[in-house]
Each structure stands twice: as structure tokens, then as C-alpha cells.
């Protein structure tokens, strides 16, 4: 599912690069060929670092990604950094590349999240809602009776990512954004979504102050994204105001012309 998500995201990014004259579909494919594997490595490293007690003394388990354990934060961070590096090497503008990939990332996440359904993992607390998820006894957490229904948090996040993708495309159409700013709307939107979805999950996770680690990470990234957008908007407004107030360069007191 992660691979299918990456293919869909590469397709969308390539279309956006070509439509705006920022690059080609080959550029998008070249970026994905390196950035996606790097993102998987980053996602695994994030999981290992934040859950080190599960790997202490069993280092061979670090490479067993087929048994689960990928952290989205590490994946996005490393994948984006490596993707930007590849884009620069190919002569693409960094800001334009970030703008092109902004709606493609939630598309990839929306598809990739269904891997949690196949693995019967990362679901939420029990629910009596009609769309509750039934887990087989092999994957049922301790303390829950057979047949208990759980919140399908993977589905909530998947649908939320599709909505986020649509919103980003709409924001881009209606707003006169500077290049690269759409990516900040993505990070702000996704972290807001993830904060609430994470609050429903019951899988073991580090926590502090009543919030899970990923919720704290969401709050930090959301705050930084919004702060940068606000500062950038105010600077743009200030520059526009200074240009408006600047007196016109019209010569005064011209000498009278002879008749």
C-alpha cells in the first residue's frame, strides 16, 4: 500500500510540475526513486529511536520492517530533505518542488494507511458505531472480548488526507501564494488531523502530560507551520504597503516651455 501511494503521489507531482512549467514527469520519477526509499529508512529510524526498548539487545530486529514499525514523521522529514536535494541536483526550484509535492503527499498517505487495515493494527478505542472495525482474536489487544468493535483510525486518517489534498488544491486555485507556502498548509493541516486521530488510538506509545508522543509532535509542527505562515503573510503585507505609500517619481516645478 505504501508503494501504491508513492506511485500515485509521483503521478500527481509530475503532472503539477509539467502543468506549471517547473519540471517534468521524469523529474518527479527521479525524485521519487531516491526520496521514497530514503523516507522508508527515515520512518524506520524514527520508530526505532522512539521505541528503543523494543530493540535493545535485538539489533537484528531493526531491519525487519515487514513486521511493522514505520513513523510518518521520520518518513516525511528524511524523504522531503532527500527529495529537495535531488530536485536541486536536477536544476529544479526548491520552493516550486515543495509546492508541487504538497497535495501529492496526503494522497500517498491516504492510500498507504490501508496497510494498517490489512495488518489489523493501529486502530482506536472500542466503539458501538456501525462502522466499527472487527479484529480477529489473533490481533485482539489484551483485555478485550472477541467481537469487540474498534474505531478504524486508519480510515479516519485516510479520508482526512483525501479532504486535505482537495483543500490544498482549492487553496492554491483561490489564493495568490508564494512558492513553497502550500507545503506549510500541508504540514499544518496534516498535523491538525493527526492530533485528533492519534487521540483515539490505543496501541502502546510514549506519552507525557496526558498526550501521546505523536500528539506532541503534531502540536509542535502545527505551531511552527502556522507561525511561519503568519510571519510571511505580515511581511508580504508590509512590503505591499510600503510600495503603495512610496511617492510617484514625477518631476515637480517643471520650467515653462517657450512658446
Task: For 135-164, write each residue's pLDDT tens digit.
Answer: 999 889 888 999 999 999 999 999 999 999
Greatest mean pLDDT range, 184-193, 202-211, 246-255: 184-193
In this structure, what are the phi and psi dihedrals at residue 212, rounded to the nearest 5 degrees? -75, 160
Among positive and negative, which fits the CA dihedral 77, 50, 229, 12?
positive
**CA 46/CA 36 separation, integer angstroms:** 15
C-alpha cell at 71: 513513523
| CB of 17 closer than 8 Å to CB of 25 | yes
C-alpha cell at 64: 525487519
pLDDT in tens, 47-89: 878 777 677 677 776 777 766 678 888 888 999 999 999 999 9
Q: How confident is the model at residue 36 (pLDDT cuts 50, 70, 90)?
A: very high
Burial of 176 (0-12, 13-18, 19+ CB in 10 A): exposed
Secondary structure (3-state) at 126: strand
Residue 252 has pLDDT above 60, yes or no: no
**What ranges in the chain are assigned the alpha helix state H?**
2-20, 25-50, 72-89, 94-101, 104-112, 114-119, 153-174, 181-198, 213-245
Q: Which carries the bigger pLDDT value, residue 73 or residue 171?
A: 171
Residues 6+ apart with CB under 8 A from 23: 17, 87, 90, 92, 96, 97, 100
C-alpha cell at 146: 472477541
| CB of 133 closer than 8 Å to CB of 152 | yes
In this structure, what are the phi and psi dihedrals at residue 13, rounded to the nearest 5 degrees? -60, -45
**CA 166/CA 162 separation, integer angstroms:** 6
Q: How confident is the model at residue 34 (pLDDT cuts 50, 70, 90)?
A: very high
149-150 vs 207-208, strand pairing mode: unpaired
Q: Which carries the bigger pLDDT value, residue 197 or residue 58?
A: 197
C-alpha cell at 246: 512610496
Q: pTM for the full model?
A: 0.86
Q: How confident is the model at residue 43 (pLDDT cuts 50, 70, 90)?
A: confident
What pLDDT is recorded for position 174? 86
Amino acid at each position: 500500500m505504501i508503494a501504491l501511494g508513492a506511485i500515485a503521489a509521483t503521478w500527481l507531482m509530475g503532472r503539477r510540475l509539467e502543468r506549471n512549467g517547473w519540471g517534468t514527469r521524469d523529474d518527479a520519477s527521479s525524485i521519487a526513486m531516491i526520496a521514497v526509499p530514503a523516507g522508508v529508512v527515515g520512518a524506520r529510524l524514527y520508530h526505532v529511536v522512539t521505541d528503543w526498548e523494543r530493540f535493545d539487545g535485538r539489533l537484528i530486529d531493526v531491519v525487519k520492517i515487514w513486521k511493522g514499525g514505520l513513523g510518518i514523521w521520520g518518513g516525511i522529514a528524511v524523504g522531503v530533505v532527500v527529495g529537495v536535494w535531488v530536485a536541486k541536483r536536477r536544476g529544479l526550484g526548491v520552493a516550486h518542488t515543495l509546492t508541487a509535492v504538497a497535495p501529492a503527499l496526503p494522497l500517498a498517505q491516504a492510500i498507504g494507511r490501508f496497510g494498517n487495515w490489512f495488518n489489523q493494527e493501529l486502530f482506536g478505542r472500542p466503539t458501538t458505531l456501525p462502522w466499527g472495525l472487527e479484529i480477529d482474536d489473533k490481533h485482539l489487544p489484551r483485555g478485550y472480548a472477541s467481537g469487540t468493535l474498534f474505531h478504524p483510525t486508519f480510515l479516519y486518517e485516510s479520508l482526512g488526507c483525501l479532504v486535505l489534498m482537495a483543500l490544498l488544491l482549492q487553496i492554491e486555485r483561490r489564493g495568490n501564494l508564494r512558492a513553497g507556502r502550500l507545503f506549510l498548509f500541508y504540514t499544518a493541516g496534516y498535523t491538525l488531523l493527526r492530533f485528533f486521530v492519534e487521540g483515539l488510538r490505543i496501541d502502546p506509545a510514549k506519552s507525557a502530560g496526558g498526550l501521546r508522543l505523536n500528539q506532541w509532535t503534531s502540536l509542535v509542527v502545527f505551531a511552527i507551520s502556522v507561525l511561519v505562515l503568519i510571519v510571511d503573510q505580515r511581511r508580504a503585507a508590509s512590503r505591499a504597503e510600503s510600495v503603495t505609500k512610496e511617492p510617484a517619481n514625477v518631476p515637480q516645478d517643471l520650467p515653462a516651455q517657450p512658446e
